[in-house]
Amino acid sequence: MLPPFFTSLLALLVSASPGFPQASQTDQIQIAPPMRQMEAPPKDASADQLEKQGDLLRAEKGYLDAIDYYRAALAKDPQSAAVSNKLGISELMLERYKDASKDFEQAIRKNRKFAEPYNNLGVVDYKRRKYSGAIKQYKKALELESDSAAFYSNLGAAYFARKDFERASQAYAEAIHLDPEIFERTSHTGIAAQLISSEDRAHYDYVLAKLYAKTGDTEHSLEFLRKAMEEGYKGVKDVYTDPEFAELRKDVRFADLMKQKPPAIPE
């Protein structure tokens, strides 16, 4: 809650502004602190019980409460790399990047063969637009866990952000090879949701359409090609010449999609 002096001043400023009605005692603006929904972690709970409760809270997006439970778990089991990593994830979701980095680094010190905190440090760098640092961390994660589609997807995102589309495509191709559904699940919450311009989002969707076409996944290729067109991708006419789309061009659904005449395709 704001101190009384600032609350009164804010109410006065609002009421004095042209076009605003006089502020009453019931419509003064207050800034509420983040809310916790759980009681403090019980002192008699085991580290495992505290960790599991933290997991449930994090799944419900109760990140502040989850942090309390993970810290309580660490107090009883200080050497748990897994809990330090989970604590960092909760901090990351609250955009507390400095604290999250410290937690991930702690997890690595406890277990240097634990791939996930390296990946998560990469996410912190990616969020801060430190793409070279993110790439370095993702590669470290892949050295430890080379069959992770998520790590390859993140690596591709960092290359894409640097507009290194060739390396981005290579990383994305490996992600699709390991998990063909990965971009279907993350298309609304992953890199596409973080790209700054609609042009970048359109290019991203076109790259995925091309990769899916190359693997023979017609359904996903058409889906992402449609998204690229809806975003107005300027290079969409390349779909008629890119060799990856050779088989897709034989599909009647491709012809139907192209009949929509997106802005990038002239009449």
Decide: helix, strand or coil at residue 190: coil
Q: At what angle do helices 47-59 and 63-76 cross, to 10 degrees?
A: 160
| CA dist., res. 93 & res. 172, Å (int) | 24
More confident residue, 246 or 9: 246
Distances (CA, A) of 109 to 31, 67, 79, 85, 113: 39, 20, 9, 11, 9
pLDDT in tens, 179-200: 998 887 654 444 444 444 567 7
Contact 156, 139 (CB under 8 A): no
State the Cα angle at 47 between 43 and 50, rounded to 5°. Answer: 70
Distance CA 209, CA 195 (A): 17
Domain boundaries, the chain: 44-112
Average pLDDT, the chain: 83
End-to-end CA distance of the chain: 60
- pLDDT level of residue 9 (50, 70, 90 thresholds): very low
Higher pLDDT residue, 21 or 176? 176
Superfamily for domain range 44-112: Tetratricopeptide repeat domain (1.25.40.10)
CA–CA dist 145, 243 (Å, integer): 32
Reported as a single tens digit per residue, the pLDDT across 127-156 is 999 999 999 999 999 999 999 999 999 999
Going from the C-alpha of 116 to that of each of 20, 54, 123, 203, the distances in angstroms are 52, 18, 11, 29
Mean pLDDT of 214-238: 91
> Could you give phi then psi for residue 33, rounded to 5 degrees?
-75, 160
pLDDT in tens, 60-74: 999 999 999 999 999
